Amino acid sequence: MSVVVKLSNVHKSFGPLKVLDGVSFEVARGEVVAVIGQSGSGKSTALRCINALETIQQGSIEVCGHAVHDEKLDKRKLRLDVGIVFQSYNLFPHLTAEQNIMLAPTCVKALGKKAARDIARDCLARVGLSEKADHYPEQLSGGQQQRVAIARSLAMQPKVMLFDEVTSALDPQLTGEVLKVMEDLARGGMTMILVTHEMAFARKVASQVVYMNKGKVWETGPGSMLDAPTTPELRDFVGSGL
């Protein structure tokens, strides 16, 4: 299987605070990788580094052939290959769900209105929100907004999708509907990296779980690793999480 995302010995500090301390992991095409860990363990930062939202001080990150650590990186080309969904949805409040999805295909890929609308309709159908096309974000529930955000990212046909604690702001029921969409995506062969606190979901869907602690990759393995942690830190973390 070809490697799509590769982090090698990544170091990152915010001032004196060391957030990533030699992080390395690989993601192959079609894989679903769940990054778990306590708040402050550096997992969200690692995800943001993959999309060049943060710069790293040392190490290398390769994403779909882009050298993300390189200063000469063309960020726009990188972002054509990588989609990201945020915890706070970040939909554009002045646009309807459909317009939110159409925006990037029309202005970045220069698609016509009709082609973009077809894509938007298709993506909305994939997240089960066809009937909400003309709703503005604040007319939607948190779960629906997050599904629109996923559809917006999908519309750009990324090769990798990043999910940054996308269900952390949602109640259990809304979390369920968002996770279902993500599970469908995973089954459809999308390469996904998700930072999550949903242990059950990680165990069920992830092909690889990366447990981060103190800015390091502490333990990594298949979903079943969560049932039999080898390090005491992961045992504590899983124990307190469930």
Partner 1 sequence: MPSFGLVHLEFLAIAAFWTIGLSAVAFIGGGMLGFVIALMRVSPSRLVRGIAITYVQVVQGTPLLILLFLIYFGLAIIGFDQLPAIIAAGIGLTIYSSGFLGEIWRGCIESVPKTQWEAAECLAMTRWQRMTRVILPQALRIATAPTVGFLVQIVKNTSLASVVGFVELAQAGKLINNSIFQPFMVFVTVAVFYFIICFPLSAWSRGLERRLNVGRR
Q: What is the DSSP letter of 139?
A: G
Is 113 one of the binding residues for partner 1 (CB under 8 A)?
Answer: no
For residue 114, with 0-12 CB atoms within 10 Å meaning exposed, 13-18 middle and 19 or more buried, which class applies? exposed
Q: Which stretch binds partner 1 (CB under 8 A): 11-19, 63-71, 104-112, 232-240?
A: 104-112
CA–chain centroid gap for 162, Å, is 2
- Give whichever of 105 and 223 is closer to partner 1, judged by the CB atom: 105
Is 71 one of the binding residues for partner 1 (CB under 8 A)?
Answer: no
In three-state secondary structure terms, 17 is: strand
Is 16 one of the binding residues for partner 1 (CB under 8 A)?
Answer: no
Site string for partner 1, 19-58 (x = CB under 8 A): --------------------------------x-x-----
CB 82 within 8 A of CB 4: no
CB 149 within 8 A of CB 86: yes
- Give whichever of 113 and 204 is closer to partner 1, judged by the CB atom: 113
Helix or strand (DSSP H, E) at 232:
helix 232-241
Dihedral in degrees, nearest 10, Cα atoms 34, 49, 234, 181: -20
Is 108 one of the binding residues for partner 1 (CB under 8 A)?
Answer: yes
Is 163 one of the binding residues for partner 1 (CB under 8 A)?
Answer: no
**Which spans of this chain sit near partner 1 (rule: CB under 8 A)?**
51, 53, 75-77, 79-80, 82-84, 86, 88, 90-94, 103-104, 107-108, 136, 138, 152-153, 156
